[in-house]
């Protein structure tokens, strides 16, 4: 396997990062997870745009143009001869010292990993996922803007531990006001009273690329769609619930906190959007 590291393709066992890199020491950096389907990089431009927005938000100057970054992604995919892959693109503040001062990090670190990923077993897409509500609250949006896809994922990991300890794969995270924000690695949608609903980003949700794709698909299909504040009672009483994410794609949820959602099976809206999303992955992207 070849890894892109600071302008060069190196073997996996030689892709070394300094222990003084602020991405490692402080989670000081940004990243993107990107998917490819049959040599088509799904929504590459949107992912790259979000990466640079995240970097701008933390005053991290990426030393590559967006075009050069996209070319680096393509170069790495070709080097590993991957047609269907998961891409992890990371930019850290770079090597500094043991202090917090970002001025001590003159050159950002950039690396790109292209590999395979299967976030959930195939049976979960067919039968649905069981999840729980995390006891860990979502970071306060005014403290750490959820629109920044940063390397600081400890909040999500603590919530993921809540899921693991409950014997499930995923957990819903609530904000400090107990409104539904998102899951540990996915956005959440519900279908209730004939409407497709997802929480607004202001409550602590990431502006997911797959989330956005589903919203666009829903509007094209003339599905009534709204961004609304949701409490867990809204989710429990929903007819359908599903999660979206780059790695997860669209996955149905059939039980939350041991409560059955709808009839306990993947619903018609979820299945239709899944079908339309799969069609979209064949046309919406950059060929390499």
Q: Which of 78, 149, 160, 239 is catalytic?
A: 149
- Token readout for 18 is 């300094």
| Contact partners, residue 85, CB within 8 Å, separation at least 6 | 35, 36, 77, 114, 115, 116
Across the beta sheet with 109-115, the strand order is 8-11, 2-5, 109-115, 85-92, 29-37, 40-42, 285-287
Distance of CA 127 to the CA centre of its chain: 22
Q: How far is CA 120 from CA 84, 91, 126, 185, 249, in A?
A: 16, 27, 11, 12, 10
Q: Is 265 a catalytic residue?
A: no
Q: How far is CA 214 from CA 205, 249, 278, 283, in A?
A: 15, 10, 11, 15
Active centre residues (catalytic)? 149
């Amino acid at each position: 396997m070849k890894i892109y590291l600071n302008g060069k393709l190196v073997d996996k066992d030689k892709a070394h990062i300094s222990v003084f890199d602020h991405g490692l020491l402080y989670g000081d950096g940004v990243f993107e997870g990107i998917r490819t389907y049959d040599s088509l990089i799904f929504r590459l431009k949107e992912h790259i745009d979000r990466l640079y927005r995240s970097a701008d938000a933390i005053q991290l100057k990426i030393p590559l143009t967006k075009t050069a970054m996209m070319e680096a992604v393509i170069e790495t995919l070709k080097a590993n001869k991957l047609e269907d892959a998961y891409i992890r693109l990371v930019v850290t503040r770079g090597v500094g010292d043991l202090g917090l001062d970002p001025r001590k990090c003159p050159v950002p670190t950039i690396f790109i990993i292209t590999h395979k990923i299967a976030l959930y077993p195939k049976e979960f897409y067919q039968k649905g996922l069981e999840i729980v509500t995390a006891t860990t609250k979502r970071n306060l949006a005014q403290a750490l803007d959820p629109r920044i896809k940063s390397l600081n994922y400890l909040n999500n990991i603590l919530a993921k531990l809540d899921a693991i300890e409950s014997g499930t794969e995923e957990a819903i995270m609530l904000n400090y006001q107990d409104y539904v924000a998102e899951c540990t690695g996915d956005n959440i949608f519900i279908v209730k009273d004939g409407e497709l609903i997802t929480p607004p980003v202001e409550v602590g949700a990431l502006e997911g690329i797959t989330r956005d794709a589903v919203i666009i698909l829903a509007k094209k299909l003339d599905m009534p769609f709204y961004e609304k504040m949701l409490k867990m009672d809204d989710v429990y009483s929903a007819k359908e619930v599903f999660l979206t994410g780059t790695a997860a794609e669209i996955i149905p949820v059939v039980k939350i906190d041991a409560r059955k959602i709808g009839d306990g099976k993947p619903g018609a809206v979820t299945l239709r959007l899944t079908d339309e999303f799969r069609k979209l992955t064949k046309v919406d992207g950059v060929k390499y």
